[in-house]
Amino acid sequence: MKKLSIKPFLCLLFSVLIFTSGCSSVWSKKYKDDAGVMYGMIYDGNEEGVSGVNVKVNGGLKAVSDGQGRFILKFLYADIKDKKEQRIELEKEGYEKIEEVFYYEPMSLLHIRMESGEDILKEAESLIDEKEYRRAEESIDRVIKIEEYRDEGLFLKAVIKYKEGKKEEAAELLEKLKEKDNESIKSFLRKLK
């Protein structure tokens, strides 16, 4: 009887072990990498992408949107292992700050609308023209939170109070703005007295 050589048998066994362990580790790594990625798109009222938006998740900066408003969120496996719910914050100068809860789903896409202070002011002005004062004030309250548009928002709120016949409230709002040394504000104040 012929003796079987152990050397070819060991080489074959070793090759099979390397091949199977290599395939399983590549698969598990790919799964974990894909499990930690989400995509997002930030757009404005005109359906245009908003660039340069700081994207924070659970308080930490995760991304900044590109020229088309796109961003990628990469999560560590430990961050998402037991927790699907995440808190997202979007901030950009001149835009309304967005804070929302979203649910983590691998390889999914977030669509988030972000409005500029300028667009909100235009909306408020249109509502004032239509005598929709309550809705206009809601828009103005949103725009006042955006620092760059605070004064314009207060001015429009004073206009609403004036049109509603609440001259004292209008004057109080304008007094807050009087320090800015704006001639249109001073003229409006003289009209109220």
Domain 36-113: state its class. Answer: mainly beta
Q: For the segment 32-82, what is each residue's pLDDT rounded down to a tens digit?
A: 444 578 899 999 988 999 999 999 988 888 899 999 999 998 877 656 666
Per-residue DSSP letters for 8-19? HHHHHHHHHHHH
pTM of the predicted model as reported, rounded to 2 decimal places: 0.67
Domain spanning 117-192: which superfamily?
Answer: Tetratricopeptide repeat domain (1.25.40.10)
Structure tokens at 72: 């990628």
Backbone phi and psi for residue 142, each to the nearest 5 degrees, phi listed first: -65, -45
Give the model confidence (pLDDT) of 119-171 as tens digits. Answer: 999 999 999 999 999 999 999 999 888 888 888 888 898 889 888 889 888 88
Q: How is the chain split into domains, by residue range? A: 36-113, 117-192
Alpha helices in 36-115 (DSSP H): 77-80
10's CB contacts (< 8 A; 6+ apart) are: none
